[in-house]
Structure 1
Amino acid sequence: MHGFAYRNGSLFCEDVDLQSLADEHGTPLYVYSANTFRDHYRRLDAALAGVDHEVAYAVKANSNLSVLRLLAGEGAGFDIVSAGELFRVIQAGGDPAKCTFAGVGKTREEIEYALKQGIYSFNVESEAELRFLDQVAGDLGVTAPAAVRVNPNVDAKTHKYISTGKSENKFGVDFEAIAELYDRAAAELPNITLRGLQMHIGSQLTSITPFVEAVEKVAPLATALKEKHGIEFWSIGGGIGIIYQDALAAGSVDWWDAQSEQDRPLTLTRYGKELVPRLKDLGLKILLEPGRAIAGNAGVLLTRCLYEKQGSAKTFKIVDAGMGDLIRPALYEGHHEIIPVKEPGEERRAVDVVGPICESGDFFCQDRELPDFQPGEVIALMSAGAYGFVMASNYNSRPFPAEILVDGDKATVVRKRQTFDDLIAGE
């Protein structure tokens, strides 16, 4: 479920009218639902009941300090991919000892910073990185906790840019080479503590099958590494997909629930039902690293229609947000449901919704049947809570939008709109 719904002809986030937020704070504008973040975190946590586990939120999905603070208050751990993300977690009150540091290209400065902060583990992506981690830890006179990321060569059947679990992807170490790498590390790297094992096969998975296949393939390896090297955790990654199509309707039904299984091949109920029996007897702490599943449907991007342009081939609705504010449609061919903030009537038209940026790829949809909103009206791009603001840019020297966090009837500016002076600060 999520916190966005029409009431009395207007779209609300929890108990706040989105039109009022657009009028007060301007557009483009990101708006997040605090209760949706809480609800999705708690449901993910409950899905692994019966297993020693921790939900480690993937900071890259949405790294606003207020979002991190909210999730830290729920007891979340954090999956980070840079020293900057670790800094954000600490500033938000998160515990470094509940952070795992992933990513294929960690620098010496990042490793040193993370070691000094006392993170739980480095998720290592190659033997070269593991040996470099040993060297840096040795230079500091400390021991570095590490888990190697195994690439199980499982096809997640997701977009090629977000597939990470196949042999041709840049992530992780081949399944067949992992056991020998742990043996060499134990024998040759005195500044490494082998704390766990990690995997992540991709993002926006909408079927339970790849998760089951990967867990069944890697579980014997995890057991063997526990017996031989004493590892204490197994991170099974994230990747649980969300609803992008018909996202508004998803807010009115319990789409994480088992009742939805006929319509969705992956629900949290089914996820837990399939994986918990396969994990509970391993004697390992299980880390789950969701990002999109917590944040995706917790946010919308509000944008105002500026003009309508009727060409010989198409009708364009030109809005004040662009690919610099939300790049997923241009980058991933990502779908976002587009709805007017004012509840629409029955009339629909096939249009392109496009932004002001000087690129033909600057569009949010093409040839889509949408309610016929007019210039001056505000529309919402649904499911924009993950990989939205975090991937924004200042291309065309456009300032970043503001971010609002709604909690009940309270709306708080959690990031101010960037000014022109901000654009050139540091130049």
Structure 2
Amino acid sequence: MIDIINPATEQVIGAVEAADAGAVDAAVAAARAAQPGWAALSRGERAAHLQALLDALTEAAPELAALITAEMGAPLAVARKVQVGLPLAVLRSMIDILDKPETSETVGNSAIYREPLGVVGAITPWNYPLHQTIAKLAPALAAGNTVVHKPSEVAPLSAALLADLVRQAGLPGGVYTVVHGYGDPTGAALAGHPGIDLISFTGSTEAGRTVAALAAPNVTRVALELGGKSANVILPDADLAAAVKVGVANCFLNSGQTCTAWTRMLVPEAIHDEAVELAVAAAKKYTVGDPTDPATRLGPLASAAQRDRVLGHIERGLAGGATMAFGGGPVPPVGYYVAPVVFAGVDPDAAIAQEEIFGPVLSIIRYRDEDDAVRIANSTRYGLAGAVWSADREHAVAVARRLRTGQVDINGGAFNPAAPFGGVGHSGYGRELGGHGYDEFTAVKAIQL
């Protein structure tokens, strides 16, 4: 059994049974047995099943939000709006895709079709436990696949509830199966299983390499959504106050445990100090505390290991010469808390500017000119997200096109759950969400006429 710890109280709130390789074999066998029948359903029939699941999730939304707060520490407001609200929107978008008739592409004398792959293995992290699951489950099921899912052992309770809701919604047995456990042996058994047709993984770059290596002997398709070290590029003509305020909010969302977080704020040399003052003023408003308290903006980190990892990065930042403009504030005596930190004058090659910290830590970096800003933004091994701010939107888009990353927000553009999501470089490959996410879970077939 694996105990689940509430990171705010450090108390055990539940337990799940770890699956061994034999349990993974049984889950894959059940998924493979169920897949032909599920794929044979019409698009309308699969849409009706997913609508039933959406209805069940919507009804259970308050319970899911409270469970996610308890298992990984997100403040209730974040749990309701983002941790649960976003996956509901993603599921709805897949239903919308199925509501449209199937189309085929014609190339010369060939008709091109997209068909289900078969059985999908999904391995998801603890930072957005329900969203990362639905981002894989919804398109996989919509396309006619079945899914075997291993959630993170840190925050698996929402996946257990999701499995109950899948059954209550009337989806066929074997369509979605959860296997709990650690990366080794449970995740390894799933990634290396010969009965899996696609392994979809979200997590660290290091773990992604392991997953890809385990899948390689079976020539299993792999989709990886990995780490990030995103740059928030503030151009000289931008609304500095707005850019800094939104940038701090983005960096600190979910206590900084977001792979797309804009953890590097790039500002012109001439206004660096002003940006630091604005960032410190914004950071002071992030109350750290009990995630069930409506006044809390920063809950605990998800585990003791993650807290210690973040504190280690902060210590290395100070040792490397960065200036802590804000940080070291009080935190509750119990729980895995880290006070928010703003580093100023950060060297773009420093560890805190290159490594994914996954905590409420912002690095503010000077740049000389636009070319220097683009160079710095592209100087990490990652390429998942980013932002550009300018009074000239067309110019901002031109700069965004120069950034080596999977998605860029212009002047705080809203997240779009129907747009493709994924990265380049060490942030992975493959796409989730929307039509591109649906296509990721399909095989292409050409029929010559």
Above 0.5 in TM-score?
A: no
Structure (1 or 2) with the greater helix fraction:
2
